[in-house]
Structure 1
């Protein structure tokens, strides 16, 4: 590539110099890649000027030193996963544009943009448009999209890791294929700080998967982050829990000692809990705020403004700020609980200082001993520069159906030409003629079982063989309802007489079938039915099979899980751990076995007149929860009288009235072909998945002019259609899409399948006389939901101490060192 000085226009070089900056190598290489006609993937640390690097070719194109600037029309699209990020980029981009005197108009477009401005943008578009995948897809549904994007030369995708591997990435990939057809000279650029597999993202970014057309640009290395794991000053690392309540006094002192501290939590509940705990000890009345997705837009904007002005000393937040705005005054990031992934941790750490030449400072606060190991594994990965991430999977058919409808809204299309566009993406390269025909048939008629109903007839074939809208009104209905994000619902828990007990997240309710028992509101409840967003129950004398109804949780990555398992068998490495953690592992090693990377350890033991089995899976909470459902059903069939199960990210505990003589039959791989299929079909899980794909695929509309359907109304509609399709068209394209979601997204079926394969020849069964040290953390979770708010921590602390004493007891006739 050309030397930096020869490609950077003097207007840009002078602006950098005037600020005391220099054009960094990766910024110049992004410009060089564009000049050479290449697409580009930039991987650079937070604070490295990635966004400016992505826009540098755009700024250069409007510099007079490079000749006449481009004319009117959209020159560059900037796509981000968050509306707030697009607005922040606009503020940061306008400054260099104005100071360089460049003739560039920059605007944003999202769901919050007023309709009159959206109309004006289509008639008189800006040179740079900042938007989201959903808004871009909607723009492509207008007939004027062909002229609107004819001048397009560049698409910049920011924080590409945040959505490329999911359905929003599918939608964006399809939009890119359409844009490339409209503007063949268009260049693609993607930016990220936390990509584990740049080659995979290059393939995703490239048309037709032509990875050689995408230049990989790696950023200059910045100052390594400074990561510390917080430990109790006088107490031991807790056995159980994940809130890190013990750290509040130390956390408050850290807030006092720094200008601005950003405190990350993994759930909204934990954000509220930590926020309240901090206010209880806030004797200096420091300004401390909170930010998460359940707060109103006005509340979030108020907090964001206060942070930008430097008015807060601390902010407690969830993943809503993982991809946060550039707040340079943050000098400390705190992660409450385990980070769940090294890439996520790096992203969060990068919010501190946000400058490449200054180290970001972070403190990890483990909630329990397993979380201490996970935090150590994450710190080691960050120190080594190792990242993790999600794998790419086949694109969703519901998203493809939505894209087909958007194309039809813009103009009649030729199915062969559109198929070539679709297949040019990595996500849909697998689509063959048969699948394509099924998708078109669905969009045209709703499918075989629904084609008699005119309401599902959206496109028709014309005399020349092309496809067009069946009626012009379908365009307005599509634009009103299109989108990928389907709001999560809460289900009312009620007795048959109508008395309400409260609400549970649908994710939990979807895994239940009639006859299942769980604990809620201090009661043992048996499920009678799930219908119309209501969970009907009755009081039960049976033991609660499922004591945990926790909300959606961040998954533990495979990368970190492997690191933790390696640490457990690296006995020499235990020397760096605190004394109580090292003793915990040493007693476990002496009394039982360690669950290493190549084994699946299962411990069985009696406790409190019940029989327990603990499976050390390290496959994450979602997969363990699913495995618990399947194993207890299999135990029932074998007469083992299971009473319940509980799970965390690392292991699954099952208890029963009869002992498990051999756990191997409970883990045979055919459980995924037999019990899994039966469980999914009889649970609410597949119905929930179907509702989401039906909404995304356009089969059921949430919005009508002037009103929006309630979640109950949408569910009623999709349940009726679901029952019809299950009976008359079981191979319907949306049932296939729902199965894909249920298997991959809701149960983490890939990791579960790998575990069951391992169980066939790597299972290690250890029979013990009492609870083992490694089992104590998951055992302390049992019964948490029986306790009222506020009482749980103290009661469970006593329970944990009792379990720990039993697990760590060493007989006088033996010693750890002597055996």
Structure 2
């Protein structure tokens, strides 16, 4: 056992602390090539990750960079720096700690390259940028350890793929480097360990004591949840009462728009003037920092927020988390729950607030999964090739390279271990020439091969442009919003939303109602007049779909004879569905057909997630048109697709025939706007499209125009171009979730329960409220929705629920 140095033992003793077993394990196994620590929030996993570093540096003598810490958030890196400096300063350790993110000044960045600190805290993008410099071998040559925090969050996106490619490069520069991953929520530890390790080296997994089960329940409200919608306005009084009972409450939402709506309603109902803030990624940095500072100081009783506060930042004395809307993903729910009682072996307290009646079922299923510690997550596919292309360009910026060495280096990355040489050569050729259809243009000839076989940049000046566009996070096409006469921005809204505004319109941002005055120098100017019902600003962000595991858990709930765990109103609703039609089953597709308001409707329950069900709707309507059934439109939710048209569907089986489904899908996809959108994202990451230029930045319209021309050109003259192949792969597994449709069809194997009905079924009728035919803001509109719901329920045979 490696004992802590005496100075550390004294420091622990002064605080009445004892080293946790998992912290000792990390210290004992500090020389392992790779370690993955899974420890609960508040379990001291950050200190566990850094203890070997602090102990090694305590005696002084190490020159240069010793440990690199990588975080998915700039704010988390800054928070860790504050937390690490406490023991370092109190013990008087000769250790220099600095962070390097997009917020770091140019002067400090230059100094860090010349004289790296002992511990550098950064993000994947900043690390990739550092590796693109010619002096990367000198900067990283002394590196001993890399600590990747919240590794589960990075592994779910292309940022994780980029980071692991960077680690492969670091390992070549510093063969002695050890890898450490930290996380509180990992559904498949072996898969994450495989990503973290240098293939084929092993990665040991250390599990800390998970601690007590969280204190989690569904919020009890006087008013029943509505039949549809995502605002959860009905729960405002109950939420305010909970805020009053606790010191600091985090109120999580799944989207920024929902957070804005809820905060606005909460503020209007806040007659006690409780200090409440709002925090999400589209707000100005200054406003976010003010909220964060107020949280740390304990000046706020509640913060309405989104995923911007998901991760492991300790924001003060948070003793309650409220999740508004079904969490959609158990792992995300556990991560958010962990924000409350950020202390080891103290149970986190959380409440779930379903936004509508079906979400009651989802929330109960999620509660059961949390109690059983049953995390969810979809298996990760092969490493994306657009990220690989960017990595090749980054490597070229740092100096000449040998293609065989780079190929072998990349194959040490878990996601790329099966990469074929032909696929690598395709990516290298693309970086060198732009591909067959573009090789005549100098703009895309970025690499050349020297007589000695080494590859290098064709024009050294290209390095600046490549560096300016490093990263895999797709920028949204947004415009700054600021008060007229004030240069400080309030936040951002999407260009498409700004285009719908006329002077005098009002909208919500940062929880306040502002009046649109005009567009000046690509900035939306507003005033604080609020004489109209506000629109909801459009914020780009993730729209979560139910995880596959959570959907299967809901289907298993439907098999029960009754539901004592559900509120009476929801249990009676499901009972009525079973009487009028039937409930969906896991190994069958339930299809209901019925007339309503002069139209014929078909409702298919697939439980494949919103994106997949929407894609299924597109495919079904395409097949219906082919056989002359005249569909008029459809709407999709996480669990079903509802289509209406002029003709009845008497035999739904052909609509779900999987034999030609992929061909039908690819035919539809080839002419769909989703392909151009996917192409734009992949081409930007791969370096074909540059958003940032030395003297300017392309607007969203300019980037769209450029990418659309490229897409059409390649489709016509080079249909097998690498970027088109990447686009197809990305579209299939990304925006449309085609894999989940295939999983649904495989799971049900052609077994269809067709229920011809003479009226709307209880389970389908909330979908009529999803169509957007009825506005959802204001008391009058709320009453209209209630009246519409009552009318639909009566037509379905429901009177009392």
Task: State whether TM-score is above 0.5.
Answer: yes
> 1:321–1:370: structure 2 CA closer, same or farther, 3 Å change rule?
same
List aligned pairs for 1:342-741, cutoff 5 A.
Answer: 342-489=330-477, 552-572=542-562, 574-670=563-659, 672-741=661-730
Q: Does 1:51 align with 2:46?
A: yes
Is the contact made by 1:611 and 1:659 (CA closer than 8 Å) also made in structure 2? yes
Select 1:184's aligned residue among 150, 175, 183: 175
The aligned counterpart of 1:533 is: none
For 1:199 and 1:27, the matched residues in 2 are separated by: 20
Is the contact made by 1:641 and 1:656 (CA closer than 8 Å) also made in structure 2? yes
1:758 offset after TM fit, Å?
3.7
1:667 offset after TM fit, Å?
1.4
Is the contact made by 2:259 and 2:306 (CA closer than 8 Å) also made in structure 1? yes
For 1:363 and 1:559, the matched residues in 2 are separated by: 21
Q: Does 1:129 align with 2:124?
A: no
The aligned counterpart of 1:119 is: 110
Provide, for residues 54-88 of structure 1, a one-character-per-residue CA deviation record: whole Å limited to 9, x for no partner.
Answer: 11111111133xxxx45221100100111111111
For 2:383 and 2:149, the matched residues in 1 are separated by: 20
Provide, for residues 104-161 of structure 1, a one-character-per-residue CA deviation record: whole Å limited to 9, x for no partner.
Answer: 1111111121111111110000011111111101111111101111100100000111
1:759 offset after TM fit, Å?
4.5
1:101 offset after TM fit, Å?
1.5
For 2:796 and 2:352, the matched residues in 1 are separated by: 27
1:551 offset after TM fit, Å?
7.5
Q: Does 1:764 align with 2:753?
A: yes
If the length of structure 1 is used for normalisation, what is the TM-score?
Answer: 0.89
Provide, for residues 298-334 of structure 1, a one-character-per-residue CA deviation record: whole Å limited to 9, x for no partner.
Answer: 1111111110110001000011111152024011100
1:232 offset after TM fit, Å?
2.7
1:368 offset after TM fit, Å?
1.7
> 1:358–1:788: structure 2 CA closer, same or farther, 3 Å change rule?
closer
> 1:25–1:505: structure 2 CA closer, same or farther, 3 Å change rule?
farther
1:205 offset after TM fit, Å?
0.7
The aligned counterpart of 2:165 is: 174
List runs of 5+ in structure 1 lacking aligned partners: 492-502, 510-520, 522-547
> 1:81–1:34: structure 2 CA closer, same or farther, 3 Å change rule?
same
Select 1:238's aligned residue among 212, 217, 226: 226
1:686 offset after TM fit, Å?
1.1
List runs of 5+ in structure 2 lacking aligned partners: 480-492, 500-506, 508-537
For 2:495 and 2:670, the matched residues in 1 are separated by: 20
Provide, for residues 19-74 of structure 1, a one-character-per-residue CA deviation record: whole Å limited to 9, x for no partner.
Answer: 12211111111111114x3410011111111111111111111133xxxx452211
List aligned pairs for 1:21-100, cutoff 5 A.
Answer: 21-35=17-31, 37-64=32-59, 69-100=60-91
For 1:131 and 1:504, the matched residues in 2 are separated by: 28
The aligned counterpart of 1:13 is: 9
The aligned counterpart of 2:517 is: none
Is the contact made by 1:33 and 1:39 (CA closer than 8 Å) also made in structure 2? no
For 1:482 and 1:279, the matched residues in 2 are separated by: 40
For 2:384 and 2:735, the matched residues in 1 are separated by: 15
If the length of structure 2 is used for normalisation, what is the TM-score?
Answer: 0.90
For 1:38 and 1:460, the matched residues in 2 are separated by: 36
The aligned counterpart of 1:543 is: none
For 2:711 and 2:131, the matched residues in 1 are separated by: 30
Is the contact made by 1:289 and 1:303 (CA closer than 8 Å) also made in structure 2? yes
The aligned counterpart of 2:303 is: 315
List aligned pairs for 1:771-790, cutoff 5 A.
Answer: 771-784=760-773
1:673 offset after TM fit, Å?
2.4
The aligned counterpart of 1:265 is: 253
Is the contact made by 2:656 and 2:750 (CA closer than 8 Å) also made in structure 1? no
> 1:790–1:750: structure 2 CA closer, same or farther, 3 Å change rule?
farther
For 1:220 and 1:291, the matched residues in 2 are separated by: 32
The aligned counterpart of 2:792 is: 803
Provide, for residues 191-232 of structure 1, a one-character-per-residue CA deviation record: whole Å limited to 9, x for no partner.
Answer: 11110000000111111143xx21111012222110110133
SS at match of 1:394: coil
> 1:790–1:430: structure 2 CA closer, same or farther, 3 Å change rule?
farther
